[in-house]
Structure 1
């Protein structure tokens, strides 16, 4: 349940609303076919509502479902509040400012990240996006997108900075577990000062926020299960229709995998990396040592 609707994102409200509606339907002993027949809806409309796939939700649809399910006045008011958020606000990545620089695959990821309860991220070449400083990410984008205008680079930097709000959201802050290769600490991106500031920022965030855990895989530990490249495993709140999934990206594309075999493979790889890498305190000591070396 969202305890502060006013501070919740539309994406999170859609997910929670869908979960609540599905639970109400089950409690009423109704299947989807019975519901859509009563309301003269398509089955896909009800499915989109219950999975949070709609860009916005009509309050009148919520009212109609609450009547059929026999929801209490308190429950109905709460669900109408969720729907109102989806109607009156937009997820930040949907704004005209960001749309031109966000690829479709990454746009899908942003919606998933905004609703996830936990994110496991292994990075081999650079600092995880949710822990990057503005100066560090600007250097990366200027190098990776040399044909882009300064305004487009500014938009990409803003996208990265806006993403980080999930770590501090008042409504169920995202639990981030990040594992990074030692190469990330050694590669000088943007010069020594940028690196010192960036690595110090990782230490500060991991120390300040109890929902952030960082580990480092040292070179001396040899081969490991993350050597095929970076990846993300996203997990969603209890009761949500979304199951865990994997997000992957490269220079050409970005995509989400919901295949059970892929999810298990990457979960196992992350578990192996967690077991292999030094614990959070020792890892933060490695990062502090790298700050001095830069």
Structure 2
């Protein structure tokens, strides 16, 4: 539970609010459909509220739920404080400049990432976003989003580079582990010179940031538990009482997984990949070798 609500980010307040409202509903023995009928809400409205996906939350709606759940006066005041923060503050990705170009699923992820204390990522195709250079980002977006205007590509590049500030965050600090398929090192994105710069940037980040850890799954490792595609597992501050979540994305969509059994499968998969991959020092040696081969 957040103790200093006014100092908390809107993203953390939305997540904490949603988690506690869901806990209250379950404790009251109510199904989501029952609550929606009483308030004449659509099911999706309550779902967005409980999963922290709304940009802002109306305090009056929170109070209506607290009334149904018979929440204590102390809990009502706390949840109203969470809602007030979401109304008075804005996360950077909710600005009018970026809102039209960021998919809803990725907006949800940005809120999670800005709050998480642990982020574990497996990437099979390209350098993870938090480690990409601006030139690498631009090539990826120009190829993946053909037809976008140059201005929109510039905005997407800015979104990616701004997002990387979480690696320098101190409250709470983010422990970041990325496991890469060896193909990420070998594939030439843009040009050999761009790749040398990109791979050199990864090495520099690992050497400069003790909270950043990189491992590489070599081709010789054969089949492994990440072959169904990339994924990210997020963990949150203990005080927030939020369960770990999994983030997935593909060409058409992005979404967050919250089911306990599915999350456990991804946590196990990441642990298996970490055991199978080269260790951190050997992985850095593999990256340095790849730099030489991009000639």
CA positional deviation for 1:103: 1.5
Q: Which residue of 1 aligns with 2:233?
A: 233
Contact 2:117 2:237 in 1 (8 A): yes
Cα separation, partners in 2 of 1:70 and 1:108, compared to 1, 3 Å: closer
Structure 1 segments (4+ residues) deviating >3 Å: 1-9, 13-23, 30-33, 44-62, 68-71, 78-88
Confirm whether residue 12 of structure 1 aligns to residue 12 of structure 2: yes
RMSD, matched Cα: 3.7
TM-score scaled by structure 1? 0.78
Take 2:148 and 2:167, find their aligned partners in 1: how far apart are those partners? 29
Query: Structure 1: which 5+ runs fail to align?
Result: 34-40
Take 1:217 and 1:210, find their aligned partners in 2: how far apart are those partners? 21
CA positional deviation for 1:164: 1.1
Take 1:140 and 1:22, find their aligned partners in 2: how far apart are those partners? 38
Confirm whether residue 246 of structure 1 aligns to residue 249 of structure 2: no
Cα separation, partners in 2 of 1:7 and 1:220, compared to 1, 3 Å: farther
Take 1:51 and 1:69, find their aligned partners in 2: how far apart are those partners? 22
Cα separation, partners in 2 of 1:281 and 1:255, compared to 1, 3 Å: same
CA positional deviation for 1:140: 0.6
CA positional deviation for 1:265: 1.5
Take 2:200 and 2:2, find their aligned partners in 1: how far apart are those partners? 33
TM-score scaled by structure 2? 0.78
Contact 2:53 2:108 in 1 (8 A): no
SS of the aligned residue for 1:281 comes to helix
Take 1:200 and 1:180, find their aligned partners in 2: how far apart are those partners? 15
Q: Which residue of 1 aligns with 2:95?
A: 95
Take 1:21 and 1:103, find their aligned partners in 2: how far apart are those partners? 25
Contact 1:51 1:242 in 2 (8 A): no
Query: Structure 2: which 5+ runs fail to align?
Result: 31-38
Count of residue correspondences: 283
Take 2:47 and 2:101, find their aligned partners in 1: how far apart are those partners? 30
